[in-house]
Amino acid sequence: MSLHGRDLVSIRDLSREEIEQLLAAARKMIPVAEGSKTASSLADKIVAMAFFEPSTRTRLSFEAAVQRLGGRCLTIADAGATSMRKGESLYDTIRMLSSYADAIVLRHPNEGAARLAARASERPIVNAGDGAGQHPTQTLLDLATMQEAFGTLTGLKVVLLGDLKYGRTVHSLAFALAQFGSEIVLCSPPSLRLPDDHREELRRAGARLSVEPDVRRALADADVLYVTRIQKERFSDEEEYHAVAGSYRVDNALLAGTKPRLIVMHPLPRAGEIAPEVDETPHAAYFRQAFLAVPVRMALLNEILGPTRRGG
């Protein structure tokens, strides 16, 4: 695998083999992420965090990853504090930033922003979420969580619950699950179904895909329940949002008849979709998932910024 110098805009930019190798590298990074082992592979590197949309986990886990590897960060955490307020374009902002840093991690409200940034930048761009588009590094840590729980990514039955229309995490994850040969069950309110172009692409990729609007039925034999938040900020019409707000909630009663080893995942933040009582059950995997963001992002940055490797 050589990801050296490459952009990561979409999960499609990575082959199945590259994903597997990244996950293996991430497992080795766990002690470094926990602080029980030190590393300095990014000692001379600066990574820019260009976040033009709210973020807690993604930005802080990227920063933790850089700092645990001895690198430094330049951070934009608030678009209002940059010259974009004065009308500077994203293109110019990124072009300039790429002369200050060795790589740029970008989050932006517009779908396609990361692709544009990759054209503007002389350095690698990592997409940390572009509107309702893609969130490939979230997918890597989602896969790491499933692999840790089940030892495999093949043959799992994964229910994707919630906002499948605007949720970028599921847009990236579904494609990766198809690549690994897991079964995908789509469960959403009718107005938030997975857009047709995504479905068609998944079918073309050979996905085992079904739709089950009834969450109880969807959960029969499921290994993973992947819950998403309704992406309120993406709705153009507030009434459309209110029509679906609170339409699903995962609690212990819902999980009662499921497989004992079923894991509940969520990219977080949650906004009422998972009752706090679930946190105390062995099903809850979302806090482990949030931790695994650090070793996964370490492994990725090491590959992108590390020395070129041949034949590996």
Stated as kind and residue range, the H or E segment containing 74 is strand 72-76
Sheet containing 157-161: order of strands? 208-211, 183-187, 157-161, 224-227, 263-265
Indicate the angle between helix axes 286-305 and 136-150, nearest 10 degrees: 120
Residue list 114-133, contact with ligand NCD (CB under 6 A) = 129
Query: Which residue in the set 6, 12, 28, 57 belongs to the binding site for ligand NCD (CB under 6 A)?
Result: 57
**Least gap, CB of 105 to ligand NCD (angstroms):** 12
Cα 231 from Cα 28, distance rounded (Å): 34
The yes or no reply on residue 295 touching ligand NCD (CB under 6 A) is: no
The yes or no reply on residue 58 touching ligand NCD (CB under 6 A) is: yes
Complex with ligand NCD: residue 111 or 212, whichever CB lies closer: 111
38 is catalytic: no
Cα 103 from Cα 47, distance rounded (Å): 5
Cα 168 from Cα 132, distance rounded (Å): 5
283 is catalytic: no
Query: Which residue in the set 71, 124, 267, 295 belongs to the binding site for ligand NCD (CB under 6 A)?
Result: 267
Cα 41 from Cα 306, distance rounded (Å): 7
Catalytic, out of 4, 28, 57, 208: 57
Complex with ligand NCD: residue 41 or 140, whichever CB lies closer: 140
Cα 138 from Cα 267, distance rounded (Å): 7
Site string for ligand NCD, 166-205 (x = CB under 6 A): --xx------------------------------------
Site string for ligand NCD, 76-105 (x = CB under 6 A): ------------------------------
Cα 284 from Cα 7, distance rounded (Å): 33
Greatest alpha-carbon span in the chain:
56
Cα 143 from Cα 124, distance rounded (Å): 23
The yes or no reply on residue 138 touching ligand NCD (CB under 6 A) is: yes
- Give the Å distances, CA to CA, from 210 to 149, 194, 224, 301: 23, 11, 15, 35
Catalytic, out of 108, 123, 135, 157: 135
How many residues contact ligand NCD, by CB under 6 A?
Answer: 10
The two tokens of residue 188 are 């959403």
Residue list 229-258, contact with ligand NCD (CB under 6 A) = 229
Catalytic, out of 68, 107, 168, 297: 107
152 is catalytic: no
Query: Which residue in the set 68, 108, 123, 135 belongs to the binding site for ligand NCD (CB under 6 A)?
Result: 135
Given the rule CB under 6 A, which residues bind ligand NCD? 57-58, 129, 135, 138, 168-169, 229, 267-268
Residues designated as active site: 57-58, 86, 107, 135
